[in-house]
Chains A and B, each alone.
Chain A
């Protein structure tokens, strides 16, 4: 904010001075000689030169965070959102698999009453073995085919006896700032141009929690955000 304010104020001041100098009106009051114009031009070039030396001394190398590329991630976003495909995700996606022993009843709670932050699916087994199987897939965040899933922290459900609490998901904030030289300058340098003009595409899939529960388990509590996979 301070930077923007400083930048804007400097720009406005310099622009006003610039317009004043270049205006024909100034000739009536001041005689701005060509020497003044050249002094301004060469001072500006000297300033740029100093800034170039500073940046080359302080930040001599180009640095690029290697974000994993995933050309199929947009398909994954679509596939993952379909309940039928959940089983097929196990092999390709980072999945946390846990088992919990349970009696006859499961009570569900949510940390955040307004928003679950995850797709929750419950499926029943054919048997009553007293065990809940829990599969959790991480959320998927995509920007221009860059997969940011590894940057995301997730809060796993908390199990206590016959109750599970779906925790509020931590805020995920990812800031990516980059500098790139103009594509016009790179016509003969052989540098790869980052395609700025294709726009930014993005897609996301929330975390998926799938519980496979015993056949006759009673489920109660806050079921607003829970979907049942009934055959």
Chain B
């Protein structure tokens, strides 16, 4: 019996505010990742062909793919970090329930996906500017925003979806490792080894097929349904595996 019983929504708001503050460094890490990706976007796809002593062809490709790859890796890393032991203990320093803890994490991941997605779609044009400064003459093989403004929201949705999915995968892995009380790292290695074994030794193209399941989808509503479905399953698993966990461990 309490004089003032807090409502779930108030707890959720407070928890979200707390998560946004305690995980703010994630965005600085994302910027560091993006700046590091610059090295790859300018050098990974370049080639030189020396035909003979007097002829030489040089091809330099600038692409934003490394930035998206690094952002996806970042989302996975932050997802794991959100679900780890110290963050769990931090969260229960306040009035909180397991439900509000997970929901606030979900909201944080959603907001982070939006911010990261916005950042990454703007990196493309910024790269184009840098490439124009770097090379005397450069061809642009993709439509610009002026030419195809409607592509921008579509690209934004795509990036946000993939980021959220990787957040969820990381969050599920983090939740699994947390429940195993110190053996989480070993279990992660075991889990990844099994995936490696199934995919490369037994030859089941499991990972390839699961990527193509999303990547070959060309109709946006179906893609959104698949993403929402997958995220729901992953989030449900994460909440289930931590449902019997003590709210705070010493």
Contact = CB atoms under 8 A, between A and B. Distances in A.
A98 to B, nearest CB: 23
A10 B130 CA distance: 13
Given A11-B35, A58-B132, A63-B139, A189 B155 contact: yes
Contacts of B138: 177-179
Contact of A37 (B28, B49, B162): B28
A59 interface: yes
Contact of B132 (A59, A64, A141, A187): A59
B124 A15 contact: no
Contacts of A185: 64, 68, 121, 124, 155, 158-159
Interface string B109-127: 0000001001101111111
A52 B125 contact: yes
Q: Which 8 interchain pairs have the tightest Cβ spacing? A: A18-B32, A34-B24, A37-B24, A48-B122, A181-B142, A41-B27, A177-B135, A55-B129
Interface string A1-26: 00100011011001100110110000
Contact of A188 (B31, B38, B223): B223
A29 interface: no
B181 interface: no
A178 B151 contact: no
Contacts of A33: 24
B187 interface: no
7 contacts: A56-B144, A62-B141, A64-B139, A173-B58, A177-B131, A181-B64, A202-B51
Contact of A191 (B49, B61, B68, B151): B151
Interface residues of A, number: 73
Most-contacted residue by chain A among B30, B67, B118, B128 (CB, 10 A) = B128
A51 to B, nearest CB: 4
Interface stretch (B39-47, B98-106, B228-236, B240-248): B39-47
Nearest to B141: A180
Given A45-B119, A177-B131, A177-B138, A52 B45 contact: no
Interface in A30-56: 32-35, 37-38, 40-41, 44-45, 47-49, 51-52, 54-56
B52 to A, nearest CB: 7
Interface residues of B, number: 80
A56 B139 CA distance: 14
Interface string A172-199: 1111111111111111110100101000
A196 B45 contact: yes
Contacts, number: 251
B250 interface: no
Given A10-B35, A55-B129, A185-B124, 14 more contacts: A44-B31, A49-B122, A51-B126, A52-B145, A55-B126, A62-B143, A170-B54, A172-B56, A176-B60, A178-B141, A180-B141, A186-B142, A188-B157, A188-B218
Nearest to B115: A41
Most-contacted residue by chain A among B57, B68, B115, B151 (CB, 10 A) = B57
B62 interface: yes
Nearest to A53: B125
A19 B31 CA distance: 11
A139 interface: yes
A148 B140 CA distance: 19
B29 A18 contact: yes
Interface string A114-150: 0101000000000000000000000101010000100
B63 interface: yes
